[in-house]
A and B are shown apart, each in its own frame.
Chain A
Amino acid sequence: MKIIVCVSLVPDSTTKVKISDSKKSIDENGVSYILNPYDELAVEEALKLKEKNGGDVTAISFGTDKSKEAIKKAFQMGADKGVLIKSGSPDFDSYTVSKNLADFIKPLNPDIVLFGKQSIDFDGLLVPSMVSELLGIPCISVVVKLDITDGKVTAEREVEGGKEIVESTLPIVIGAQKGINDPRYPNLKSIMAAKSKPIEEIAATYSGNKTEITEMNLPPAKASGKIFVNGKDDVSELVRLLREEAKVI
């Protein structure tokens, strides 16, 4: 089975993000980066498919040199090959990412291309479906359970208030959602082996961008809480505020 998993590097979710002076990007000082947690699920699913069906797993990232870290993490989990499609600029939109990934993936004719359903930095939720469209193959995203038997794909998706079972065929693009698996800890063996796995670097094929970030702002600071001190005399005011301001009842 030819398995591709696309990975990206995102700021650690515990980082306190600051906006840079240009207001168009985040200030990278002091930010630590991790493999996008949804991509971790995709890597795990890729490895499980390989363990079941044989074949190999190639981890691909589009980005700057820094993105090699995401590929290295995939190596540490057990991916066999790694490719960095190198972006000339750090500013790229979801279309640029998708176009470059699709251009590279198409001639490889993979059986399956796995993604995290979204990356936790820009939350675009666009790349898996764009890539599938550009490749001309089906896409199932927000998948919480995946079964592939004899070329037939059965996926369980999360939908509002329930589950949806979807069937399709290979080749396919899958977007992984929390719950699909429990990603392995990279073990010492794969961490040591990752050292000697080379990352192939290739040039980007497209850099046009179809959208542009004009401004970034932090969410407004949380207003301080309100404390009621007069016991039962405050109840009617509390109920009014819960209804009219907080709109929770």
Chain B
Amino acid sequence: MQTVGTYKGVDYYAIDDMLTDEEKSIRDTVRDFVSEEVIPIIEEYNQEMHFPMQLVPKMAELGIFGPTLPVEYGGMGINNIAYGLIMQELERGDSGVRSFASVQSGLVMYPIYEFGSEDQRKKYLPKLAKGEMIGCFGLTEPDFGSNPGGMITKAEKVDGGYVLNGAKMWITNGTIADVAIVWAKLDGKVKGFLVDKGTKGYTAPETKGKLSLRASVTSELVFSDCFIPDENLMPNTSGLKSPLMCLTQARYGIAWGVIGLAMECYNTALNYSLSRIQFGKPIAGFQITQEKLAYMVTEITKAQLLCYQLAKLKDSGKMRPQQVSMAKRNNCEIAKNIAGMAREMLGANGILDEYPIMRHQNNIESVKTYEGTHEMHTLILGQDVTGLSAFE
């Protein structure tokens, strides 16, 4: 039977009262899924540095790939609060699992829907929604991370298509992807290509030695004289703005996701501190511990409110990318602080794999870096409020 009710999340400000029945139901079904299917196995996969592939059909069955897209393309037509809550619950399990879903939905299905031709939409979207195809998104290069506009991967027009040359790095799902969205310059202008697995001249070796996001596949994408047919160019892109629009989607999901990570660390630390006795009383009774708990619950609540209003802005079409930067920047920062404090509160136990904290603490390092580093979001906000760019 389902474990409905055993994990309650964190809701200090009765934020549940602002959610519709449907939003709560969607959250709860993903919550149960994570409790039963992700949490019991994830530590092992993390240690082995494997992505749990068996979860893909299960997530597809739940309907969480591209769920905000219209039904005719395999989506569910859900709103952005429900989407955010899905990300929150997945990341309570593991950032790697959430990353998989974020990439599939926000970085692969979204651009195909937004910039693809009708044929491309029909060819890829339903299969991606069903988990029959896995996608990845290649923007970052070895020498161009925060500054993707400098990319050197390039496409040349030839008869019947294009020839791609260059390399992408740090690409989530790369090795396991059936289709890669690859951003490359054609005559100096950024364009998006759909590169199918098995295309001649395209390889995607896995990145080794990661100490973070170990239950997620990260890869390099290498293109050497790789021929891409005309029909695999996405027709409706408009320069660097297009991949940045994708990043806005994925950052939005991250802003929600890391709340789940923070909740899991907070709950673990709270429970531990209530049962761990030192100096004759629970460590929760000491002022220093309470200071940490008060910080955690306050920051989680603020993060929830930030995301809630961001979702409302997104659903009403009023959201600006800079507002997403604020939520991504803030929520990753507080999640990282919370994971660190939780680790401290568990003393030596905090370093063990019996508790989820050290894994989350390691994962948040990637999450804080990808989709725009903390510093880059600072500069985006700085530019927005002053009108002066410190980076361009």
- Contact of B22 with A32 in the complex, beta carbons under 8 Å: no
Q: How long is the Cα–Cα vector from A189 to B76 in the complex, in angstroms? A: 6
Interface positions of A from 131 to 170, Cβ below 8 Å from B: none
For the complex, is A186 an interface residue (Cβ under 8 Å from B)?
yes
Q: Which residues in A have their C-beta under 8 angstroms from that of B61?
A: 187
A192 — which chain B residues lie within 8 A by C-beta? 22, 76-78
Chain B residues with CB under 8 A of A34: 4-5
Whether a CB of chain B sits under 8 angstroms from the CB of A113 is: no
Contacts of A178 in B (CB 8 A): 1
Known contacts A185-B32, A185-B33, A185-B62; is-contact A191 B2 (Cβ 8 Å): no
Q: Is the CB of A183 within 8 A of B1?
A: yes
Chain B interfacial residues counted at CB < 8 A? 21
Interface residues of A in 58-106 (CB under 8 A from B): 72, 76
Q: Which residues of B contact A13 (CB under 8 A)?
A: 5
Q: CA of A41 to CA of B78 in the docked complex: distance in angstroms? A: 27
**Minimum distance in angstroms from B62 CB to a CB of chain A:** 5
Chain A neighbourhood of B238, CB < 8 A = none
Q: What CA separation (Å) do A72 and B77 show in the bound complex?
A: 20
Residues of B within 8 A of A236 (CB): none
CA separation between A192 and B77, bound complex, in Å?
A: 9
Interface check A211, CB cutoff 8 A: no
Is B25 an interface residue when CB atoms closer than 8 A count as contact?
Answer: yes
Residues of A within 8 A of B8 (CB): 14
User: Residue B378 at the A interface, CB < 8 A?
Assistant: no
Q: Tell yes or no: A195 within 8 A of B by CB.
A: yes
A37 and B1 within 8 A (CB):
yes
Are B76 and A183 in contact, with the CB atoms below 8 A? no
Q: Determine the distance from Cα of A185 to Cα of B8 in the docked complex, in whole angstroms.
A: 17
In this complex, the member of A38, A40, A192 whose beta carbon has the largest number of chain B beta carbons within 10 angstroms is A192
CB distance from B33 to the nearest CB of A (A): 5
Whole-angstrom distance between the Cβ of B251 and the nearest chain A Cβ: 22
Distance in angstroms between the alpha carbons of A187 and B6 in the assembled complex? 20
Contact A12 B26 (CB under 8 A): no
- Hey, what's the 0/1 contact readout for A25-40 against B, CB within 8 Å counting as 1? 0000000101101101
B166 is an interface residue with CB less than 8 A from chain A: no
Contacts of B62 in A (CB 8 A): 185, 187-188
| Residues on the B chain within 8 Å of A40, using CB | 1-2
Question: In the complex, which residues of chain A have a beta carbon less than 8 angstroms from the beta carbon of B5?
Answer: 12-15, 32, 34
Q: Report whether B1 and A188 are in contact in the complex, using a CB–CB cutoff of 8 Å.
A: no
Give the interface centre of B4, B26, B61, B64 by most chain A CB atoms within 10 Å.
B4
Contacting residue for A185 out of B21, B29, B76, CB 8 A: B29
Q: Is the CB of B63 closer than 8 A to any CB of chain A?
A: yes
Q: Is the pair B63, A187 in contact by a Cβ cutoff of 8 Å?
A: yes
Between-chain CB contacts (< 8 Å), 21 pairs? A12-B4, A13-B5, A14-B8, A32-B5, A35-B4, A37-B1, A72-B21, A76-B25, A178-B1, A187-B61, A187-B62, A187-B63, A188-B26, A188-B29, A188-B63, A189-B76, A191-B25, A192-B76, A192-B77, A192-B78, A195-B22
Chain A residues proximal to chain B, CB less than 8 Å: 12-15, 32, 34-35, 37-38, 40-41, 72, 76, 178, 183, 185-189, 191-192, 194-195
The 5 closest A-B pairs by CB, nearest first: A188-B63, A12-B5, A188-B76, A37-B1, A187-B63
